Homo-oligomer: A and B are copies of this chain.
Amino acid sequence: MAMQQPVLALDIGGTKLAVAMVTPDGNSHGFLSEPTHKQRGPEQVIAHLFEMGQRSIAAAGVGNPGAVGISCGGPLDSTAGILTHPLHLPGWINIPIVDLTQSEFGVPAVVENDATAAVRGEHRFGAARGHDTALYLTISTGVGGGSVVDGRLHRGAAGNGGEFGHVTVQRGGRPCECGRRGCLEAYVSGTNIARRAREALSSSEVPSILRESTPVRAQDVAAAAASGDTLARDIWDETTALLGQAITDLVNIFEPNIVVLGGGVTRSGAQLLDPVRHIVRTTAMPPAAAHVDVVLAALGDEVCVVGAGALALDLMEATRV
């Protein structure tokens, strides 16, 4: 019975809070997602998060949690259990989230960078299951990443795992929020796909159905490219070319067994995956190319919650031994 104890998973996003109970088979129960209202400040947001957690425990009906896993954007200090200054939550400084959570729920808790949680979720329950070395890229508002190396979650010296959005794809290229130029994120995040399309629209007279979208979003670009719109197709082709180049670099660097792509932009499916996979297969070093596959994430919108659950299950199992 103890082996089957579920865990509570909490995901603190800039827009949404998500919570669920996760059972050791990786299924989520009592999933809830509600607006963060981050302007209310950490005290009220965390009170709301905990209240959602209590509701989820009651609604799930799978018993009491044996541990709590929390995923949040970085930077955070996983070892100390502190949100040091998450970029998506301005004004949250040194929040002792693990202590607060342990007090609320009376069980051990763990916090990790959301991309680190996601790779652990995909590794334990999703598309990377059974693979020794797995990379995960989330292509969303920004571009994040995480890795499992030789079966173990890699946290890195500063605890943020891998910042796969901040590898150079175009030397001297577009300015990136990190301060450098030409980073992957500056091209292929949803935000920057949309921005590049808007720039192309305003700097050319080429007819485009995107001129009817206000404001243009990344999914509009994907849809217009799929329908044959020339301007959108140019933006999309550059997106997949640069993403394919960066993933080829990562494949040469890690020789992973699998690369998993998640996040909102990957809802475009084969339109994104197929050209990226083709670039990796044909341009990575042959031994690395022969051993890797590039796939879409299996856990969809619940990846961070299930990932936080996987981390809590890891913690519970480690504590038990």
Contact = CB atoms under 8 A, between A and B. Distances in A.
Contact of A160 (B149, B161, B288): B288
Interface in A137-185: 145, 149-150, 152, 154-164, 166-171, 178-180
Interface string A64-97: 0000000000110000000000000000000000
A215 to B, nearest CB: 28
Interface string A266-283: 000000000000000001
A253 B155 CA distance: 11
Indicate the member of A156, A161, A254 with the most B CB atoms within 10 Å: A156
Contact of A150 (B145, B152, B285): B152
B168 A169 contact: yes
Contacts of A288: 156-158, 160, 163
A254 B156 contact: yes
Nearest to A250: B253
Nearest to A289: B158
Contact of A162 (B145, B150, B162, B254): B254
A133 interface: yes
Contact of A256 (B74, B145, B156): B156
B287 A180 contact: no
B160 A255 contact: yes
A245 B173 CA distance: 13
Given A132-B157, A159-B255, 13 more contacts: A133-B157, A150-B152, A157-B256, A157-B288, A157-B291, A157-B292, A158-B287, A160-B287, A162-B255, A168-B169, A168-B245, A171-B242, A179-B283
Closest 3 CB pairs of A and B: A156-B255, A158-B287, A157-B291
Interface of A: 74-75, 132-133, 145, 149-150, 152, 154-164, 166-171, 178-180, 242, 245-246, 248-250, 252-257, 283, 285, 287-288, 290-292
14 contacts: A133-B156, A133-B157, A150-B155, A156-B256, A157-B257, A160-B288, A162-B254, A163-B288, A167-B249, A167-B252, A168-B169, A169-B171, A170-B171, A253-B253
